[in-house]
Amino acid sequence: MKDLREDYFFKFYNVYMFNQNGYRRSIGIIILNAKRNVFWAKRINEHAWQFPQGGIKKGETLEKAMFRELKEETGLDSSHVKVLGRTRKWLYYDVPTKLVKREWKNNYKGQKQIWFLLKLIGEEKNINLINKTGKSEFDDWVWQDFILPAKKVVDFKKNVYRKALLELAPYVFSKEELESVKVKLSL
């Protein structure tokens, strides 16, 4: 009889697919409000804050994965947001070895992500952290200044957050404002 952990790993591996280098394909989502602040969410039962993100299922396009994760994690759907842009290339981060599940140790290094920038065009009341199955990945959220998540996220994600925000900043800020944003993100 197969070990249940082994069975779970193969299911996870086939659904979310690690690439040959051990990186899980995923998307990240930055939601912007009218004041140019970003949606910042607290992981359930933890003190860790982050942007919504999630794996890409086998056969899913990047955009389809993004809208699925958006709905699952924030309750928002395509009618509540406008896609402003996305990163051109994959951005990678390594997960510290001590945080990698035992059954993934030899196959998983971290994540490679494409980041989407969305503008909230619906109302804040459309945000619902409890998904249709009654589960939630987050238990709180706030609007943050555009640059703060790159400084506040867990250390191993900081570089990816900084790169994503830098690449997507031209969709948000004027040329005159952009230089100041770039300086603040690089500090």
pLDDT along the chain (187 residues), means of 10: 43 50 93 98 93 95 97 96 98 86 71 97 95 85 96 95 97 96 90
Pairing type for strands 53-55 and 49-50 reads unpaired
Q: At what angle do helices 175-186 and 158-168 cross, to 10 degrees?
A: 170
What radius of gyration, in Å, describes the C-alpha atoms of the chain? 17
Provide the 10 A C-beta neighbour count for residue 44.
13
Query: Contacts by 44-47 with C-beta closer than 8 Å and gap 24+?
Result: 44/136, 44/137, 44/138, 44/139, 45/139
pTM of the model: 0.87
Q: Which domains, and CATH codes, for the chain? A: 4-145 (3.90.79.10)
Farthest-apart Cα atoms in the chain, separation: 64
| pLDDT at res. 172 | 97
| pLDDT at res. 8 | 43
